[in-house]
Structure 1
Amino acid sequence: MTRSIRLIADDYGLAPGVSSAILDLIERGRLTGTSCMTGFAEWEEAAARIRPLRQQAAVGLHLTLTDQIAVTGSSSLAPEGKLPGLASLALPVRRGRIDERDVHAELDAQYDRFTEALAGPPDHIDGHQHVHFLPVVRHWLLARFGESARRPALRGAPGLSGLDAAAKVAAIATLAAGFNRAMQRAGFSLMTPLSGIYDWRQPEKFASTLRAALDTLPEQGVFMCHPGHVDDVLRARDPMQGAREAEFTVLSSQDFGVSLDKAGTRVMDGRA
């Protein structure tokens, strides 16, 4: 029996080269879908390109609270309009300086930009640098969707992983402690377990991380990935560059198709 797993590409909308690579892989049937960053000036153009694929791909919202320009401008969250580093959100001693209302306003703005450009809600929600696991974002999810009849699916906590990524997986799992149970209790469906975690500063490790997931992910488990083509916009916005080209090469390759067959696995359809 063939096992179906979800392959979700993060960061659609981050840069034109990233968006083009993700669209290419969706059209080839190599991705279940993608999660969108809606805060950039090019978002409406990127949304127009992916809108025709919503019938075949899962299109979600990639909540962004770190390192980029804030949609809502300057606030306690984003002094001078720039979102902070992850430590400023995750460490309690620093987090107390940020007004939760400013965080929620930013998340509302990103969500509204998604629904306006794509004429409907996201199929799922996750977070850039896993910020959706933070308490302040959990509060927003519960406030925004707690009484909704149509809640988006949420990306859940990571599962077990190889030794190469053990420390990174443990750090993310700590951030996500209690998330799955609390969100399921509130009526959300969870995409879990999460895999695809590796040291992106070593792009050569992506292929083995993917092969391991093909062999071990349970039915409907989720593998996150970050394929893309490097362009000047990406160079200006994000340090993750070489790994994106490496991931695109693997995911678009004939070898990947062979690996799926050998593992008795298929990429889950985005509308399943």
Structure 2
Amino acid sequence: MLQARVKLIVTGDDFGYCPRRNQGIVECFLAGAVSNVSLLVNGSAAPDAAQLARRHNIPIGLHANLSEGSPVCKALKKNSSLLNKDGFFHGKMGFRTVLAKGLLKMSEVKQELMAQVDLFCELTGHVPHHMDGHQHVHVLPAPDI
């Protein structure tokens, strides 16, 4: 009887958040504890992370972020439904609240995600091998529009 083979993929996310996190994720990859990484393109150490992934041949995908820091899309840096009064993303719970209230403009969500994909391609030289969401934003239900 044939047995199904299961492949476990362990992703180190928040790659690009800061230099220290980058180094820890690389160490985990080199030790075999992490299979691939997800790049947070609006992180302060995203260019360094992309370079580390190239150097160590680490499979890299996009860690889409709509909840922490600032957008990468220049057009959304001011007066966007994605931002709080201080000009930053709403935060993990704030994003969920604004989404539940129907106050997010889905066109702006699309615009920011496209900008993050574009920046990922610019930093890495290729399209993402996979895409997931920072703070699980990729599993949130779509609002009733």
Q: After TM superposition, give the deviation of residue 109 of structure 1 in Å.
A: 1.4
Name the counterpart of 1:31. Answer: 34
Amino acid of the residue matched to residue 71 of structure 1? V
Which of these two proteins has the greater Rg computed from alpha carbons? 1
Q: Is the 8 A contact 2:65 2:133 kept in 1?
A: yes
Name the counterpart of 1:262. Answer: none
Question: 5+ unaligned residues in a row in structure 2: which ranges?
Answer: none
Q: In 2 relative to 1, CA 25–99 (structure 1 residues): closer, same or farther, beyond 3 Å? A: same
Q: Secondary structure at the match of 1:5?
A: coil
Name the counterpart of 2:82. Answer: 77
Question: 5+ unaligned residues in a row in structure 1: which ranges?
Answer: 137-272
Name the counterpart of 2:68. Answer: 67
Q: After TM superposition, give the deviation of residue 67 of structure 1 in Å.
A: 2.7
TM-score, structure 2 as length reference: 0.80
Alignment identity in percent? 30
Q: Is the 8 A contact 1:70 1:81 kept in 2?
A: no
**Larger relative contact order (Cα-Cα within 8 Å, sequence gap ≥ 6):** 1
Q: After TM superposition, give the deviation of residue 115 of structure 1 in Å.
A: 0.7
Aligned equivalents of 1:113, 1:31: Cα separation in 2: 24
Amino acid of the residue matched to residue 81 of structure 2? S
Q: Is the 8 A contact 2:53 2:59 kept in 1?
A: no
Q: CA RMSD in A?
A: 2.4
Q: Is the 8 A contact 2:81 2:108 kept in 1?
A: yes
TM-score, structure 1 as length reference: 0.45
Q: Secondary structure at the match of 1:22?
A: helix
Structure with higher helix content: 1
Q: Does 1:99 align with 2:105?
A: yes
